[in-house]
Amino acid sequence: MLASFLKYLKVEKGYSAHTVRSYGDDVRQFLFYCGLDPEMDHPWKLTHRQVRYWLSSIISQGLTPRSANRKLSSLRAFYRYMLREGIVKTNPLIRITPPKSGKRLPTFVGQSEMNSLLEPEHFKDDYIGARNRLILGLLYYTGIRLSEVVGMTVDKIDFSSHSLKVIGKGNKERILPIHPELEKLISLYLSMRDEINLNKVEKSLFLTEKGKPIYPKLVYRIVKSNLSKVTTLEKKSPHVLRHTFATHLLNNGAELNAIKELLGHANLSATQVYTHSSFEKLKKVYKQAHPRA
C-alpha cells in the first residue's frame, strides 16, 4: 500500500526522489506510532484521535509547528490517495487543525556581499575554481533550485538566445534569461570542462574532477564554504542564494508575478513571502531615518 502510494507520487505526480522519500518517512513514522506495519497493515480503522495523539507527541518532542505541518501534508496526501483508490471511505485529516506557525522571513545575502562573492580572487585559476564560481553565479543570477543545478545539462544552454532551459518540480519546464556576466562564467567553465569530460559522452553540465556528474552534497559544501568568506549568516545553503535572487529582484523593482515565473512557483502565495522581507527592510530604513521614529 505505502509502496504503491510512493510510486504514484514519483510516476504520476512527478515528485523528486527526495520529496518521495520524505513523504514515505513521514507516513511510516505515523503508522509505526499507531502500531501498524506500513507494508502489511491497512489503516482504514484509524481516526482523527490517533492523528491528534501523534501530532501532540511529535510537537512535545520539540518538533516545530512548521515541521509538524509538513508531516501533516504528507499524511494528507497519503489519505487522498487511499480515498481515490477506494482503500478508505473517510479522511481523518479533515478534522485536524494544523498548528499555527509564525511566518519565517527568508534568509538572504546583501548585494555588496554577493558582488564580493563572485570576484575571481576567491577562486583558483583551474577547472574546480571555474566550476565552483559558475555554480554560485548560476544560483544567484537565475534563482534555480539545488536539484535543478544538479540536473542541468549542457544542451539546456542556448547562447544564441541568451537563455537556458530548466526542468523544475513535476518536470515543469521554464526558460530563463542568461545575464551577460553569467554567460561569461559559463563560457569560461565550458572551455575547461572538456579537459575533464575527455570521452565527451557526459551531458551533465557540472562534473567532479573525475568527470562524473556532480551531486547535491558537493554543491551544498561549495556554497557553504564560499558564503563563509563574505557573510556571517548562520544559514549558508543553495536555497539562501535562491532567496537572495528573489529578494534582490523585488528590492530593485521587479514585479512579483515576474519573480514567480522565474522561480518556477506554482502559485503567487509561495512568492509573496519575499514582500515581507522587503517590508522589514523598509521598516528598518524608516526607524533609522525618520526623526520621530
Check which CATH number belongs to the domain holding 169 and give it: 1.10.443.10
- Whether 85 and 135 share a structural domain: no
Q: Is residue 200 part of a domain?
A: yes
Q: Which of 71, 131, 133, 242 is catalytic?
A: 242
182 pLDDT band (50/70/90 cuts)? very high
- Whether 63 and 133 share a structural domain: no
* pTM (two decimals): 0.67
**239 is a catalytic site residue:** yes
Q: Which of 70, 169, 174, 179 is catalytic?
A: 169
111: closest CA among 248, 254, 285?
Answer: 248
- Whether 32 and 76 share a structural domain: yes
Q: Is residue 205 part of a domain?
A: yes
- Can you tell me the distance from the alpha carbon of 230 to that of 28, in angstroms, rounded to the nearest whole number? 41
**145 is a catalytic site residue:** yes
- Which one-letter DSSP state was computed for residue 178? P
**Which residues span the domain enclosing 75?**
2-95
Domain end position, chosen among 52, 70, 95? 95
pLDDT digits (tens, 9 = 90+) for 116-140: 999 999 999 999 999 999 999 999 9
Domain end position, chosen among 66, 95, 124? 95
- Whether 129 and 226 share a structural domain: yes
pLDDT of 60 over the 80 cut: yes
Q: Which three cell numbers stand for residue 97?
A: 487543525
- Whether 240 and 185 share a structural domain: yes
35 pLDDT band (50/70/90 cuts)? confident
Mean pLDDT, the chain, whole residue set? 87
Q: What would the mean pLDDT of 143-153 be, rounded to a whole number?
A: 95
277 pLDDT band (50/70/90 cuts)? low
- Whether 28 and 165 share a structural domain: no
- Whether 206 and 129 share a structural domain: yes
- Whether 90 and 143 share a structural domain: no
Strands (E) across 186-269 are located at none
Q: Is residue 235 part of a domain?
A: yes
- Whether 267 and 137 share a structural domain: yes
Distances in whole angstroms, Cα of residue 177 to Cα of each of 147, 161, 165, 208: 19, 8, 9, 26
**265 is a catalytic site residue:** yes
130: closest CA among 203, 204, 191, 218?
Answer: 191
SS3 assignment, position 106: coil
Q: Which three cell numbers stand for residue 189?
A: 567553465
User: What's the structural domain count of the chain?
Assistant: 2
Q: What is the pLDDT of residue 242?
A: 94
- Whether 284 and 230 share a structural domain: yes
Q: Which three cell numbers stand for residue 105?
A: 522571513
Q: Which residue has the cell 489519505?
A: 79
- Whether 191 and 231 share a structural domain: yes
**274 is a catalytic site residue:** yes
Q: Which of 145, 156, 243, 260 is catalytic?
A: 145
**215 is a catalytic site residue:** no
Q: Which of 15, 23, 79, 274 is catalytic?
A: 274
109: closest CA among 265, 258, 232?
Answer: 232
- Whether 217 and 118 share a structural domain: yes
pLDDT of 42 over the 90 cut: no
